[in-house]
Each structure stands twice: as structure tokens, then as C-alpha cells.
Chain A
């Protein structure tokens, strides 16, 4: 992991969209007046004819994307996670998931790490809502390399996808040659004292915790769950069997997201005690992103504290 090289996953998304637009003419991009923030503006500049600003009308954007998908287009629809999963839930459910249409909902600004905008803009329930939808693939990516892989990979998957992206710049974790597969988590390290199962921004924090704990003679492993659904049951069960403790961490409510998904797997397959770190059934608030993450224990120190 390169702590000095930081890039926000929304930026990686915007850059990859441009590359993808060059090789796949069916790709169209929709946004709801947030192109500068979601970074779809990069695609807009390159392919103005295949970019559609729908204005501040997220419900309309999602159903419009659905209509385009029925005609063979591959729409990437972007806005903040709050307004995609939240505002347009019914449209995602009935216009996209029920008919299993090929719409990629790429939602940026997820989690409390949105920062200063505060609670109304900090989406903490999207993984839970999106995970509950039949036909939906749900992804939450952790760094630049993984994001660029995911943005291209989902274009090859014929069906609805929710891709969760973040505003905050975060360290580049993976080498360019890293192998990824939808539905397969990535195990980092093989410590047996604990497994920290993380997603999105929390993966790099978990790796920092792992490195610091090694100095103290505590050896943990980190699992990056980039695909929340379908979740990698096999890897989760394997880690529960091989390590003494399981901790989950996500910039999301502990209700419905990664922590819940892990508990579902383990309660059915290999009952284990799980400690869930995340937003504890509360709204966020304004503040600098890093300060907020620290305040809510969503960082390296929060993980170490939970383990000690």
C-alpha cells in the first residue's frame, strides 16, 4: 500500500469511464447536475453526445437509464449515494431490478466521509437497501486500482449494478497487476489473531492497523470485500475458522451493510462472534472527513481499540 499516493475512488471512476467510452460505444453516462463532483464531467468532455445531464431529478435519471438499457445501451448513472439509493429507491427497484436491466448505478459521496455537508448528504444505508434487491450486484471499492477494474468489469456483466464510491482521497492499495474477481474477497496477510473484514475506505485503515499491530506482536489479516453481493461466503467462513476473532468495519450503518452480511453468512455456516464497527444506528454530522472518521472510530485506531 502506498500511503503517499492518494486518489478518491470517484476520480478513478471518472478517469476509467473515459477509457471505457473509447472502447465501448454503447456506454452512455447520465448525471443529475453533479457531474463536476461525481467526475462524470470527464466523460462529458470527451463524449458530449453520449452524456446526458438530467438535472436535479434523480428518479427521472434512473428510469431514463432503464429505458436506454432496454434499447441496448449500457447506462452509467451517477449522483451522490444519498440521492441514488435514497431518492430513487423505487425507480431502482421497479424500473431497473425487476426487469433486470443493464444499468450501472455509480454512486459517489457515500458514507460519513462526505464530511462538511453533514447528515443529509451522508448516505449510511445504501448497502443495506441495494443488497436487499433481487438481481442487483452490489460493490464497494477501496482504491484506485480496484475502482478502475470494477468500472470496466461491470460493463461486461449483463444486469443491474450498484457501485459505491467515495469523495475522500484514499491510499492506493493494490499494484496494477492485482487480480480481482466479482464476488471474491481479497485476503491481505495471514495472521490468525483476528480477521478484519473491511470495505471501501476502511480497507486502507485496516491495513494500517494490521501493520501497527505487527509491531506489538499481534498478527491479523485483512479481507477486502469489494463485492457486498454476492458476498464471498467461502472466504469469510475460512477466515472465521482460521482466526480467533472477526471484526467488520464499514463507513456505513452497522445495520444492513457489510457487518450484517458477514453475520448472515457466519450464523448460517459457522456461528462465530462478530464485532461490527460502523455507524451505530445514528446520523452523521458536519466536520472534516478525517476528523469524522476518527470521531466515529472508523479508522486504524478504532480497529486497534476494538482488538485490544
Chain B
């Protein structure tokens, strides 16, 4: 199933956002802000770009996705459920003691999760390993890795970027969810990772700057990344933390907090009326 209509992708992204709110509300725990900011990117990856099949989640030749910012697990789980990897009802068990849906992605037990993540900064290295294996085997699959703009304060990220360029991993695409907020405040105030694009360029990446909520720009960027050979590509996606829920947008406080009943009702009603 490849969705190419922009309006359809927008509808899917909105459903992913509804799922995120349902999960975090049901679990009374989780990270809504940074999940909502990357929902559009995940919609494009899983419904328009990646060569995947929910019927065969372990197929060796499938494209891979690594959610390096593992705390955005509600976004990944909601996307996987929408895509048919498991029942949407499962989302309501998020973070519960009997749930497969762990607080952070667990590749051993969740269909469709390609790498366990959670401790920040490790995902690009893992994605590199997958991209290297793809080249070694001649499988030709592509690897996508989503990092946070706060997460890239971790030193290992830069080790991995250096390595990706050194090994000419043009089958790797790193996406930066640049929502400009981390737990303690704005990126600029806490520990500026700017200028992100120039840093990635100087580390040997092709860089594409986009509005991470504009479906057309997201699709175009991924399509272009596939044509760029000899170097890995980074898509720097300017996003809004909490995107889609008015009172969560651009609010630091919604990084890792669950809504109460009133807030939940309002969030769902706003998303349903889009």
C-alpha cells in the first residue's frame, strides 16, 4: 500500500496523532510533545516511502526505521498500528505491565520495531550498521533514522555521522525532528545544537531543509534523498512540538506528561475536527 495523495497522508498523520493522545492518556504516562512533532514524517515513511509489508515484518530485504529518539514511541506505535502491524486496541495498553508496548521501543516483542532504543544517541550508529549490512549483502534496502534536535547533543551522534559519511552510506537517511524544545527549555537556552544544517554538511551529509509538517515537502525530500549517491542524506525538519493540539504546541511542559480527562477530551476533539 503506497499512499501518494497528500490529503490522504494528512488524514493518516491525523489518525496517528489521535493514537498518540489515546496511548499517553490510557497509560497516564509518556511523551506526547515530541511524538506529535514527528507524526507527519512517520506517516510519509510508513505509508509512502518505505518498502515494507506488515505481513512479513522480519523480511530481510525490507527498509529499516530506527527511532533514535525512542521516547517518541507513542508516535511509532500509533503508526505501526495504523499500518497494520498490530491491533489498534493494543495502543490502549501503552506502558502497562502486561503490554508489549514498552515505554521505549522494544524490537524483541513489538512487530515492526526494527531496533530497540531509548538511551539517547545510539540510533544513528545502529542505523549505520544496518546500512553497512545492506551494502555488504547487496540487499539494497534503505535505512531511516529519526533523531531529536536535543538528542544530537549526545557525542555518539557525531561519531556516527562521521562514520556514515566515511563509509559513504547513501542508503542512509537521517531525519532531525527540529522542534526546538528539550526537557529543560529551548534548544538555544539549554545547549544549542545550531546551526544543525551546517554541522551535518561539514560532517559529509547532503542536507535538505524542510517544513516537517508540509506533506509535499516531506515526500519530495525523501524522494530526492534516494537519488543522492555517494553520501548519506540528512533531512532537517523544522517542526512544532505538540503539533496538532493547541495547548500542547510549543510548550516545554508537554515533553513527558499525560493529559488529564479534560485535556484529553479537548485534544481528541481538536484532532477529530481537523
Partner of A99, one of B115, B159, B167: B115
Task: Check A304 for interface membership: any CB of B closer than 8 A.
Answer: no
Q: Mark A55-83, 1 if CB is under 8 A from B, else 0.
A: 10101111111111111110100000000
**Is there an interface contact between B133 and A95, defined as CB atoms closer than 8 Å?**
no
Task: Tell me the smallest distance from the CB of B65 to a CB of chain A, in Å.
Answer: 12
Task: Tell me the smallest distance from the CB of A243 to a CB of chain B, in Å.
Answer: 43
Residues of A in contact, count (CB < 8 Å): 31
**Is there an interface contact between A67 and B115, defined as CB atoms closer than 8 Å?**
yes
Q: On chain B, which size bracket covers the interface?
A: 35 or more
Partner of B163, one of A28, A64, A73, A91: A64
Q: Which of A46-54, A140-148, A220-228, A229-237 contacts B (4 or more CB under 8 A)?
A: A46-54
**Is there an interface contact between A54 and B163, defined as CB atoms closer than 8 Å?**
yes
Partner of A68, one of B133, B155, B159, B162: B133
A-B pair number, CB within 8 angstroms = 112
**CA–CA, A269 and B245, complex, Å:** 59
**A71-B163 CB under 8 A given contacts A49-B136, A90-B119, A99-B106:** no
Task: Tell me the smallest distance from the CB of A160 to a CB of chain B, in Å.
Answer: 13
Q: Which of B16-24, B123-131, B174-182 contacts A (4 or more CB under 8 A)?
A: B123-131
**CA–CA, A70 and B130, complex, Å:** 7
Task: Check A98 for interface membership: any CB of B closer than 8 A.
Answer: yes
**Is there an interface contact between A73 and B119, defined as CB atoms closer than 8 Å?**
no
**Is there an interface contact between A67 and B126, defined as CB atoms closer than 8 Å?**
yes
User: Which residues of the partner chain B approach A54 to less than 8 Å between Cβ atoms?
Assistant: 159, 163
Task: Tell me the smallest distance from the CB of A163 to a CB of chain B, in Å.
Answer: 20
**CA–CA, A54 and B162, complex, Å:** 9
Task: Check A100 for interface membership: any CB of B closer than 8 A.
Answer: yes
User: Which residues of the partner chain A approach B122 to less than 8 Å between Cβ atoms?
Assistant: 59, 63, 90-91, 94-95
**Is there an interface contact between A63 and B130, defined as CB atoms closer than 8 Å?**
no
In chain A, residues 21-67, which have Cβ atoms closer than 8 Å to a Cβ of chain B?
28, 49-50, 52, 54-55, 57, 59-67
Task: Check B107 for interface membership: any CB of A closer than 8 A.
Answer: yes
Task: Check B233 for interface membership: any CB of A closer than 8 A.
Answer: no
**Is there an interface contact between B107 and A55, defined as CB atoms closer than 8 Å?**
no
Task: Tell me the smallest distance from the CB of A100 to a CB of chain B, in Å.
Answer: 7
Binding site of A, secondary structure by majority: helix, strand, loop or mixed?
helix
User: Which residues of the partner chain A approach B106 to less than 8 Å between Cβ atoms?
Assistant: 98-99
Task: Check B256 for interface membership: any CB of A closer than 8 A.
Answer: no
Partner of B136, one of A50, A70, A91, A93: A50
User: Which residues of the partner chain A approach B60 to less than 8 Å between Cβ atoms?
Assistant: 71-72
User: Which residues of the partner chain A approach B162 to less than 8 Å between Cβ atoms?
Assistant: 55, 57
Task: Check B260 for interface membership: any CB of A closer than 8 A.
Answer: no
User: Which residues of the partner chain A approach B125 to less than 8 Å between Cβ atoms?
Assistant: 59-64, 66-67, 91, 95
User: Which residues of the partner chain A approach B132 to less than 8 Å between Cβ atoms?
Assistant: 52, 64, 67-68
Task: Tell me the smallest distance from the CB of B124 to a CB of chain A, in Å.
Answer: 8
Ranked 7 nearest A-B pairs via Cβ:
A67-B129, A63-B125, A71-B133, A60-B159, A67-B126, A57-B159, A68-B129
List 21 A-B residue pairs with CB atoms under 8 Å apart, sorted by A's residue number: A49-B136, A52-B167, A55-B162, A57-B159, A61-B125, A63-B122, A63-B123, A67-B129, A67-B130, A68-B129, A70-B114, A70-B129, A71-B60, A71-B129, A71-B133, A71-B134, A71-B137, A73-B136, A95-B115, A95-B122, A95-B125
Enumerate chain B interface residues (CB-CB to A < 8 A). Answer: 60, 64, 66, 106-108, 114-119, 121-123, 125-134, 136-137, 139, 155-156, 159-160, 162-163, 166-167
Given contact pairs A64-B126, A64-B129, A67-B127, a sample of 15 additional A-B residue pairs in the complex whose CB atoms are under 8 Å apart: A57-B162, A59-B121, A60-B156, A60-B159, A63-B123, A63-B128, A64-B132, A64-B163, A67-B133, A68-B133, A71-B129, A72-B133, A95-B115, A95-B126, A99-B116
